[in-house]
Chain A
Amino acid sequence: MSETHLQNEAIHVDTERGNFSYPENYEFDAGVGLTEDTIKYISDVKNDDDWVREFRLKALEVFRKKPMPTNWADKDLENIDFDKIRYYLSKGQTPSRSWDEVPDDVKETFERLGIPEQERKFLAGVEAQFDSEAAYSRMKEDLEKEGVIFVGSTEGLAKYPEIFRPYFGKVIPTADNKFSALNSATFSGGSFIYVPKGVKLKQPLQAYFRINAENFGQFERTLIIADEGAEITYMEGCTAPKFETATLHSAVVELVALKNAKIQYITVQNWSSNVFNLVTKRGLADEGAEVKWIDCNIGSRLTMKYPGVVLKGKGARGEVLSIALANDGQHQDTGAKMMHLADNTTSNIISKSISIGKGRSTYRGQVHMPKHLKNCKNNTECDALLINTNSRTDTYPAITTRGQNNTVQHEASVSKVSAEQIFYMMQRGLSEGEAMSLAVNGFVNDLMKAFPMEYSVELKRLIDMEMEGSVG
Chain B
Amino acid sequence: MNTLEVRNLTVSIEGETILKNFSLTIPKGEVHALMGPNGTGKSTLAKVMAGHEDYTVESGEVLLEGVNVLGKEPDEIAHAGLFLAFQYPLEIPGVSIANFIRAARAARLPEGEAINAVEFYKELYEKMDALKMDRKFTARSLNEGFSGGEKKRCEILQMSMLEPRLCVMDETDSGLDIDALKIVSDGVNLMRGPDRSFLVITHYQRLLDYIVPDVVHVMYDGQIIRSGDAELAKELESKGYDWIKEAHEAATAGV
Q: Is A427 an interface residue (CB 8 A)?
A: yes
User: A438 touching B73 by the CB < 8 A rule?
Assistant: no
Contacts A423-B74, A438-B100, A442-B141 given; does A429 touch B94 at CB 8 Å: no
Closest to A447 in B: B94
Most B C-beta atoms less than 10 A away, residue of A423, A427, A438: A427
Q: Is the CB of A426 within 8 A of B74?
A: yes
Q: Do residues A432 and B95 form an inter-chain contact, with CB atoms below 8 A?
A: no
Complex interface residues of chain B between 88 and 107 (CB less than 8 A to chain A): 89-95, 99-101, 103-104, 107
Q: Which residues of the other chain, B, contact A25 by a CB distance below 8 angstroms?
A: none
Find chain A residues with CB under 8 A from B162 CB.
428-429
B129 to chain A, nearest CB (A): 22
Q: Tell me, yes or no, whether B78 is within 8 Å of chain A by CB.
A: yes
Determine whether the beta carbon of B75 is less than 8 Å from that of A442.
Answer: no
The answer to whether B75 and A430 have CB atoms under 8 Å apart is: yes
**Any A CB within 8 A of the CB of B52:** yes
B74 closest partner in A (C-beta)? A426
- For the complex of A and B, 6 pairs with smallest distance between CB atoms: A442-B94, A442-B95, A426-B74, A445-B94, A428-B104, A424-B90
Distance to closest chain A CB from B91 (angstroms): 8
Q: List the A residue with the shortest CB-CB distance to B144.
A: A442
Partner-B contacts on A (CB < 8 A): 1-2, 5, 415, 418, 420-421, 423-432, 434, 438-439, 441-446
How many angstroms between the C-alpha atoms of A430 and B93 in the bound complex? Answer: 17
* A220→B108 CA distance, assembly (Å): 45
B248 interface residue per 8 A CB criterion: no
Residues of the A chain whose Cβ atoms lie less than 8 Å from the Cβ of B53 = 1-2, 5, 423
B219 at the interface (CB under 8 A from A): no
Render B59-79 as a binary contact track against A, CB cut-off 8 A, 1 for contact. Answer: 000000000000001110111
Contact between A428 and B100, CB atoms less than 8 A apart: yes
CA distance A427 to B47 in the complex (A): 10
Give bound CA distance, A458 to B180, whole Å.
Answer: 42
Docked CA distance A264–B1 (Å)? 63
Given known pairs A2-B54, A429-B108, A431-B107, the reply for A443 and B78 (CB within 8 Å) is no
Smallest CB-CB separation from A430: which chain B residue? B107
The number of chain B residues with a CB under 8 A from chain A is 31
User: Which residues of A lie under 8 Å from residue B52 when comparing CB positions?
Assistant: 423
For the complex formed, measure the closest distance between the CB of A460 and the CB atoms of chain B, giving whole angstroms: 11
Give every chain A residue within 8 A of B91 (Cβ-Cβ): 421
- Is A415's CB under 8 angstroms from B94's CB? no
User: What A residues does B158 contact at CB under 8 A?
Assistant: 428
A-B contact count (CB 8 A): 80
Q: Return 6 A-B CB contacts under 8 Å, by A number.
A: A428-B104, A429-B75, A429-B108, A438-B92, A438-B99, A445-B94
Contact partner of B92 (CB less than 8 A), chosen from A424, A432, A446, is A424
Knowing that A1-B74, A2-B54, A444-B94 are A-B contacts, what are 12 other residue pairs whose CB atoms are under 8 Å apart, sorted by A's residue number? A424-B90, A426-B73, A427-B51, A427-B74, A427-B86, A428-B158, A430-B103, A431-B107, A439-B95, A442-B92, A442-B95, A443-B93
CA distance A384 to B106 in the complex (A): 29
Residue of A nearest to B159 (CB): A428
Q: Known: A1-B74, A2-B53. Contact between A430 and B92, CB under 8 A?
A: no
B224 at interface, CB cutoff 8 A:
no
Q: Hey, which chain B residues are within 8 Å of A432, CB to CB?
A: 73, 75
- B residues 22-39 touching A (CB-CB < 8 Å): none
When A426-B74, A429-B75, A430-B75 are in contact, do A441 and B95 touch as well, CB less than 8 Å? yes
Say whether A426 contacts B89, CB under 8 Å: no
Question: In the docked arrangement, what's the CA distance between A415 and B91, Å?
Answer: 12
Q: Output the residue of B84, B94, B103 with the most chain A CB within 10 A.
A: B94
- Tell me, rounded to whole Å, the shortest Cβ–Cβ distance linking B109 to chain A: 10
Q: Report the minimal beta-carbon distance from B69 to chain A, rounded to whole angstroms.
A: 12
Q: Specify which chain B residues have a CB less than 8 angstroms from the CB of A424 in the assembled complex.
A: 86, 89-90, 92
Closest residue of chain B to A448 (Cβ to Cβ) is: B94
- How close is A387's CB to chain B, nearest CB, in angstroms? 13
CB distance from A139 to the nearest CB of B (A): 35
Contact A429/B104 with A423-B52, A424-B86 known, Cβ cut-off 8 Å:
yes
Residue ID in chain A nearest B141 by CB atoms: A442
Residue on B with the closest CB to A444?
A: B94
> In the docked arrangement, what's the CA distance between A423 and B77, Å?
12
Q: Please indicate the chain B residues that have their CB under 8 angstroms from the CB of A445 in the complex.
A: 94-95
Compute how far the CA of A443 lies from the CA of B104 in the bound complex, rounded to whole angstroms.
Answer: 18
Complex alpha-carbon distance, A142 and B216, angstroms: 77
In the bound complex, how far is the Cα of B108 from the Cα of A446, in angstroms?
A: 27
Determine whether the beta carbon of A426 is less than 8 Å from that of B94: no
CA–CA, A427 and B89, complex, Å = 11
A426 and B90 CA atoms in complex are apart in Å by: 12
A425 neighbours in B (Cβ, 8 Å): 92, 100
Measured between C-beta atoms, what is the minimum distance from A80 to chain B in Å? 37
Complexed CA–CA distance, A5 and B74 (Å): 14
CB-based contact A441/B94 at 8 Å: yes
Q: Does the CB pair B50–A427 fall under 8 Å?
A: yes
A230 to B251, CA, bound (A): 88
Given contacts A2-B53, A2-B54, A438-B100, contact A427 B78 (CB under 8 A): yes
